[in-house]
Amino acid sequence: MADKVLIYSRFPKTMMARFAERFELLDTGGKPAREVFSADEVGGIRAMLTAGGSPLGAEAMDLFPKLGAIVCYGTGYDGVDLKAAAARNIAVGHSPGANAASVADIAMTLMLATTRRILVADQYVRSGDWAGSKQSPMMRPQAGMPGRRIGVYGMGEIGRKIAARCAAFESEVGYFSRSKYDLPYQYFPTLEALADWCSVLMIAVRAGAETQHVVNAGILKRLGADGYVVNISRGSVIDEKALVAALSDKTIAGAGLDVFEKEPHAPDALTALPNVVFAPHIGGHTLESHVAMQNCVLANLGAFFAGQGLPYAVKTA
């Protein structure tokens, strides 16, 4: 009989297909497990698959008395209460680095699309305004990449890939993270100093309680009127209200956002703005990164049911 895995978050069925070949999946479709499955079934659950951003605290864990493994699909695990899991002897796994290139690439896509005003450009051609030689203030020449100062906040796998890509664009790269690394980029000891220096802030930090609203009105003001912010980490890192204000009153020039405070909702005040490029949290959403993330999930679940430690366990400091 196949080992059972509870699907805790809502995932498209196509993403679950490979898991269904090896495990019996109990798919909640994102609903409370007790609504969908019998008490017996829920009581027997030993492993679950979740989206790292889905809240999963002590109370939720206690609904599954035999739970031994929480496996996150993707890199993030900010929704999981790691202390509560450790206290219950529940292993937590994720897919470190599996989607790093894909996420770094969406960061680059959003930066380039925003700074080169590609939405406005596309509309200018499609509408016939170009053919009609209509003036478009949004199409004025903008600063380009060579010599541009790009500040990367967070120097994990995604941050490093963003930095390497920006360097190829002949930009200057600086970064702030808790640790200084042996990397060919300028290190800034505070986020404030980085924001003062750079004109594009790329948020690639691992999100958590300590990064909540760290990019606030003060940081945005330091970026300045020709400044941009790009967020591919988690929506919680930016104070979204302060961002709407800064974009509306031209405190900064624009933003590229793949993540939001309350997904899948983006505030109307934000989505009405012309100087932002939006994506619906598709950073890790490429064919190869899904395969790589699924490989990590399969390895974690396989090891767990074989009584071994998770090969891609979340490292708790």
CB of 11 to a copy of itself, least distance (A): 13
The verdict on 141 binding a copy of itself (CB under 8 A) reads yes
Is 117 considered catalytic here? no
- Strands 149-153, 276-278: pairing kind: unpaired
- Determine which one of 222, 234, 240, 261 is catalytic: 234
CB 314 within 8 A of CB 77: yes
Q: Which of 145, 217, 269, 299 binds a copy of itself (CB under 8 A)?
A: 145
Is 234 considered catalytic here? yes
**Residue located via tokens 């297909």:** 17
Instruction: Return the residues of window 38-97 that contact a copy of itself according to CB under 8 A.
Output: none
Of the candidates 285, 287, 300, 310, the residue with the CA atom closest to the CA atom of residue 22 = 300
Angle at alpha carbon of residue 96, lines to 91 and 100, rounded to 5°: 160
CB of 111 to a copy of itself, least distance (A): 9
Minimum CB distance to a copy of itself smaller for 104 or for 194: 104
Residues 6+ apart with CB under 8 A from 216: 239, 242
Minimum CB distance to a copy of itself smaller for 59 or for 288: 288
Instruction: Return the residues of window 283-302 that contact a copy of itself according to CB under 8 A.
Output: 285-290
**Order of strands, edge to edge, in the sheet holding 69-73?**
24-27, 4-7, 47-51, 69-73, 91-93
Give the C-alpha distances (Å, rounded to integers) separating 251 from 46, 105, 191, 254: 51, 26, 18, 9
Binding string, residues 156-195; x marks residues near a copy of itself by CB under 8 A = --------xx-xxxx-------------------------
CB of 281 to a copy of itself, least distance (A): 8
The verdict on 279 binding a copy of itself (CB under 8 A) reads yes
Of the candidates 174, 206, 208, the residue with the CA atom closest to the CA atom of residue 192 = 174
Catalytic sites, residue numbers: 234, 263, 281
Residues that bind a copy of itself (CB under 8 A): 101-102, 105-106, 108-110, 112-113, 116, 118-119, 121-122, 124-126, 130-131, 133, 139, 141-147, 164-165, 167-170, 264-266, 271, 277-280, 282, 285-290
